[in-house]
Amino acid sequence: MVVKPKIRNNICLTAHPEGCAQQVQEQIEYIRSNGPVGGPKSALIVGSSNGYGLAARIVSAFGSGANTLGIAYEKPGSEKRPGTAGWYNNLAFEKEARKAGIGAWSLNGDAFSDEMKTQTLSLIAEHIGAVDLLIYSIAAPRRIDAETGQIYSSALKPIGKPFSSKIVDMQGGEVSEITAEPATDEEIEHTVKVMGGEDWMKWIEVLVAAKALTPASVTVAFSYIGPSITAPIYRQGTIGKAKEDLEQTAFAINKKYGDRGVRAVVSINKALVTRASAVIPAVPLYISLLYRVMKRKGLHEGCIHQMYRLYRDFLYAENPKALDSHGRIRLDDWEMREDVQQEVLELWQAVNSQNVENLSDIEGFREEFLRHHGFGMKGVDYEGDVAV
């Protein structure tokens, strides 16, 4: 079929197989062109099909030759509709890894479930032996508790009082205002259950119990802080509570398993266009302004650049860069520079529907959003039939 982008409410409902393969290839070529990072010999990436998780898998494999096992929850294509972008990303990654003689295995299913953890342990035992890096990169809207069967759904809401903010329609460029009502206690609890650190800890527990982690292994989870502009809906909101829980889990893992050689750390990453960030109120407009400022200053990075820097400068450096006062890696250091944030704030105050195309890099936001779904890639025929 001929596959075109279909976007509703900042969500893309289609993905192009050949375009997804091309964007995976470009990330691989970036790593190859920048040289090895001396990273892991074997890596497990929980949440491996998009964004930071996919980039971490690429750096592991093509930056250090690591065998990788990726876990994701994606949908294959059918005769009537294409599959998800992550489905095609995983296929493309595995093809290129095997072509390079690098071991690559993938499991598709619910990472929160006991069944997926059991399957993972079996695959590690059969093909890898043990892993020395666990990347935890889950961005899920809901979770079924493996013990109780209860369904928890995350909410993107402020806490305590309503939050009013500018927002932008990604396609049309219209800037308007939205008010989000505060979350209930139940919504806060559910969001922490889905996006907090409880499942990260469970992965460590089962891996340690099965002796599937090597001595001196490291595990990394991703978080975000962000600016004052997005704080009420992000860091001070429900998702912020979940991120705080995730960060506290790193301390809990180190306390419980540090004497067994397990080191846990949280990486605070840069704001980037992802399927998740595109639907958070205020964030797409903030990112569009941030991109304009950071590109002009020569500071802009994508997921693959951030992950390369994570491995090279922090995880596997001979002299790693210092952590912050809370023991976190700060890959948002360029984003949060005072000069960058001051310029973004000034643009935020001035931006409206009439000047958004000039004051922001909304076009860059659109392009990167589409690239995540395999559209807008050079050398891909988007008018021709493609097998989905």
User: Contact, 83 vs 20, CB < 8 A?
Assistant: no
In this structure, what token pair is assigned to residue 47? 């949440």
Distance CA 110, CA 117 (A): 9
How wide is the angle at C-alpha 56 spanned by C-alphas 381 and 258, nearest 5°? 165
> Tokens in use for 333?
């250091």
Q: What angle do CA 78, 136, 213 make, to 5 degrees?
A: 115
Distance in angstroms (rounded) separating the CA atoms of residues 92 and 20: 8
Q: Which tokens sit at 21?
A: 């393969």
pLDDT by 10s per residue, the chain, length 388: 999 999 887 788 999 999 999 999 999 999 999 999 989 999 999 999 999 999 999 999 999 999 999 999 999 999 999 999 999 999 999 999 999 999 999 999 999 999 999 999 999 999 999 999 999 999 889 999 988 999 999 999 999 999 999 999 888 899 999 999 999 999 999 999 999 999 999 999 999 999 999 999 999 999 999 999 999 999 999 999 999 999 999 999 999 999 999 999 999 999 998 777 777 889 999 999 999 999 999 999 999 999 999 999 999 999 999 999 999 999 999 999 999 999 999 999 999 999 999 999 999 999 999 999 999 999 999 999 999 9
3-state secondary structure of 136: strand
Whether pTM > 0.75 for this model: the answer is yes
Neighbours of 315 (CB within 10 A): 22
Contact 90, 24 (CB under 8 A): no
Could you say which architecture CATH assigns to the domain 7-371? 3-Layer(aba) Sandwich (3.40)
234 is annotated as an active-site residue: yes
What is the greatest pairwise CA distance in the chain? Answer: 59
Catalytic residue, from 52, 234, 291, 308: name it. 234
Residue ranges of domains in the chain: 7-371
